[in-house]
Amino acid sequence: MAEFVDSDQERVDEVVTALAWSLYKPEHARELAELAVRTTGLGNVADKIVKNRRKTFGTLRDLSRARTVGLIEEDPSRGLMIYAKPVGVVAAVTPSTNPAATPVNKAMMAVKGRNAVIIAPSPLAHATTARAVELMREALEGVDAPPDLVQILPEPVTRRSTTALMEACDLSVVTGSQNNVRSAYRSGKPAIGVGAGNVPVIIDRTADLGQAAAGILASKTFDNATSCSSENSLVILDGIYDRALDALRKVGAYVVDEQEKRAIREALWVDGKLNREMIAQDADVLASRAGLGGQAAKARLFLVEDELPAEAGSFADEKLSLVLTVYRAGGIREAIETVRAVLEVRGRGHSCGIYTASADNARLLATELDVVRVLVNQAHAIGNGGSFTNGLPFTLTMGCGTWAGNSITENLNYRHFINLTHLSTAIPEDRPTEAALFGAHWRRHRE
């Protein structure tokens, strides 16, 4: 980092682009996708290739438009000039669900701020993440940058070694288990963590049901629902309930009966915890392991009709699988209360969504629910972490605010990897009169 810290913006951008190409390069994206599925058993190769390339490309787009070196902002009217400085060495904890895309994403953001980064991967995904780091280090050497700007904890990665890394570094950025997030906040160093996902989505009476079904299918099935942004519940309003289910059936959803519901429940949770053998599996594998036959074996995802109250370890919880819970609501207010109940089980602060033609209904969600992101007429797993058709920054790390015990309330982005120095010069006095500030109060309350 000491060798790199005096680089100008052009040099920094050259190095970040090299990191991006190390994963975006088609043969590398495929190699790492295949390695991830082979070693973790999570997700599918085709979607991991898309994720590796799309997230990297989108993040590079965002970073290429940002200044992180020297003077980055100037406001003459306030006499302020703002200079960007590195935050230091970053500890980046990464999950098994995205063992290539997330490390590269964090490395790009960290190096954009002229920092070094040490990655602590999920033990299950060490092979994939280590290969991604190897490719990044080769890319750094290819542009004459210090390869040690990007490093990885050696095997075996343990809770103890990960905790020691977080205690030693200047900033920890944690994506993955809530145990790691809590450890980061206890480390005594600045930390950025994520909240749990469990996204509920409303389909209201004004929705385009074809669009809703297509978006939900594309999102829920993407990489076999490994994303924290994947839909976990649908709340469908009366009047369109049956038609919405029909639209979902047309795109490959299967509505389970009561016996099949019990079979999925028993297979998906064991002793109150998600069954490692059931999560992030192809639909036919999930059906087979749950003992479902007939038409269910041909489904692309499974719809489970349920009712409140919701509780942990029930169908209201996060499922990390091609299982989507469906609730019925009499109106938009009841739908919002159902979403709130689901988020209280898990996912508070993260996200929710709505398919609607009503701007008022969309605004109701934004004003009444404690979430960082509300997506309107969008496939969640594809749009929540940034999209080319919305304004959210590309990321694989979703801050969920104090609602989830997080320190940020937005998508992780480059600004979280820089410190700011404010140069303040004198301006003409900006002092209002007492009457301007207290006048209304005096008129109402002063005797």
Report the DSSP beta bridge partners of residue 254: 302
Torsion, CA 238, CA 239, CA 241, CA 247, rounded to 10: -160
SS (H, E, C) 4-34: CCCCCHHHHHHHHHHHHHHHHCHHHHHHHHH
For residue 146, what are its two tokens?
């210090």
Which one from 169, 228, 352, 400 is the annotated catalytic residue? 228
Angle at 122 between CA 132 and CA 319, to 5 degrees: 115
CA distance 88 to 103: 17
Q: Look up 228 and say whether it is catalytic.
A: yes
* Residue pair 18/139 in contact by the 8 Å Cβ criterion: yes
CA distance 16 to 350: 29
Which residue is associated with the tokens 């797993």? Answer: 381
Angle at 205 between CA 372 and CA 333, to 5 degrees: 50
Nearest to 104 by CA among 410, 382, 397: 397
Question: How many other C-beta atoms are found inside a 10 Å radius of the C-beta of residue 389?
Answer: 7
CA distance 243 to 201: 16
Q: Which residues are catalytic?
A: 228
